[in-house]
Structure 1
Amino acid sequence: MKTTLQISISKTKQSRLQETDFENLVFGKSISDHMFVADYKNGEWTDLRIEPYAPLMLYPANSTLHYGQAIFEGMKAYKNEAGEILLFRADANQKRLNESAVRMCIPEVPAEIFMEGLMTLLDLDRDWIPNKPGYSLYIRPFIFATDDYLGVRPSETYKFMIFTCPVGNYYSKPVSVKVEQHYTRAAEGGTGFAKAAGNYAGSLYPALLAQKQGYDQLLWTDAKTHENIEESGTMNVMFMINDTLITAPTHTGTILKGITRDSVIQLAKEMGYVVEERFLKVSELEDALKNGSIQEAFGTGTAATIAHIAKINIKGKDYELPEKPEYAFSNQVLKKLDDIKYGKVADSRGWIVKV
């Protein structure tokens, strides 16, 4: 791979490949050998390097630990039948990372640093990318503040890093969800649209309460009225009601602009489905569950891809959704996405980049 940047490479002396069980991968547990690192100081990103995956040294006064200036992205790389590495919509992840950065007072990462650092890392750790259906290499770019200073202000120094891990499916079975109408994930004017670490920290307690009741995730509702479905904890959410695909809009700034979400919407329109980007009221969802007009519900996200929802709890009552036949929209669109990601069909949309 040709690069225009100076990226120093320090290879690991002992690869962990041989001790990794690729037949029994737990999502996010097995980390690849190397990581990309860049430091922000004196107003620019410098010291671009790849080094062995290893612990970081942080001072106790590190500003991220106290004030939470941290953002991240999630994306995947795949291998086609010829063994080539395929990246899915990496440009969209790069742009979204910078949108999060602006909101969190973090300096933006130039596209060439993001892409060349990523592609150099993937080329080096290409043997970590699983070569079987349903498996991929999960990629975690992130930025955090590094000032050794206790003071409520934006940090003056930062670290941008990328590491990867081979993964299988995030959810191994259809999920059950509970509509949350007390706690709030995001409010207008806040950071809901950003992939900020604190957003996820604040959602853990309500999600834990739901898990103790037997639910995998929450369906979050709006902060003002708790009447409108927004998104789930790890994914955007979609509903097929009377052959119309309904998903929450992103203009309020409370919902993550999911890249899988956007891909599904584009494919749905190409397949001839009516798509409505609007808020689905809890009462409307409840009526659809009662009268049977809801055909399916599912989450979309990089980790989950398409996660079928089997059960929805509203105000203490469980509603079972019908099983998904092979011809169901969610199964059709999942196959279309996988065919694109694994290079089984030609990419006509500019979504795939070969490393």
Structure 2
Amino acid sequence: MRVETQVTSVSWIPSEAVTGMMKTGFEVGLGHYDEPPPDILTDVEGMRVGGKFRFANQMRAWAEFDESGKVVSHGVDGGCLMGISKVHVGPFGATFTNVKLPEIRADRELGDGWIRLTQTAGGRTSVPLPRKINRAPFVRLQSPLVWTTLSITLYADGLAEGKLVGASPFPRHWVYDADGTLDSKAGTTDFATWMSQDMDTPWGASDSPVIVTAAETALERELSSKIMRGGRKPRIRRLEAGEVLILQGEPDDRLFLLLDGVVAIDVDGKAITELGPGAVIGERAVLEGGRRTSTVTAVTPIRVAEADAASIDRLALEDLATGHRSESVQ
């Protein structure tokens, strides 16, 4: 029996993700943010040529199993698609082709009726980027590396699953399943750690672990666009791990869009779920009397956009609450 599937990661720089002095560089045109990728991938090469992402990691894998479930042959293909970097200073602009590194494919893992294959892909921008490092000469002009590590597990019964198992701490990484549908996301971005990168990469010492969260709903993606671009600019807040964003029972009518990081939801002290970037939080208090129905705590450092609920259509909030109700969120 032949089993095959594919998984794709798309990596991009969202607004508000860059911090420190480099943020000024982005604002004057020495760098650029990206629009969020689509919910469904249809033309990855077209996106690359159009500068719609920083890089993509495409992985396709197959395996042949005999009647006993033993793997008799297998293969992997795909690899890295590096995007482009755009620089604009006043009326002048330039486009640079980024540098791709060789793909890394780890040794296969075999189990009873399954095989797991892994692929790392990435590279760096070709634009010089001055940054501090932890050893002499303590300054490097090269940009840090970006990468994702994907795994595909194929089973003798025909099932297959793809996962994001490692990634650079920056930029944002989205993962699409075999049908090209957005499936999951890296939960955090850490620009400061990424900028200080020296040799802690898959091409040097080691990979970096990644927190993966489920993708938010299409409605939440629509609402997030309205919150960030629909009118009055939202207030951006940062909380450290362990800080409480929402406390059950408190009066409050604000909405929050989780821009980065992971939050935990609990009701009456009972853990309910965790949410990642793109989640819209707080609608039930707006709809149900103005008191919070759950506690929301930062699991990692987070960034949230705080919005006025009055700026969002009530019917949309009711639809969102219906989807959240099964999880008892807010």
Please say whether Structure 1 and Structure 2 have the same fold, judged by a TM-score greater than 0.5: no
TM (norm. structure 2) is 0.27
Higher relative contact order (CA 8 A, sep 6+): 1
Query: Of Structure 1 and Structure 2, which has the larger fraction of its residues in strand?
Result: 2
Relative to its length, the structure with more helix (as a share) is 1
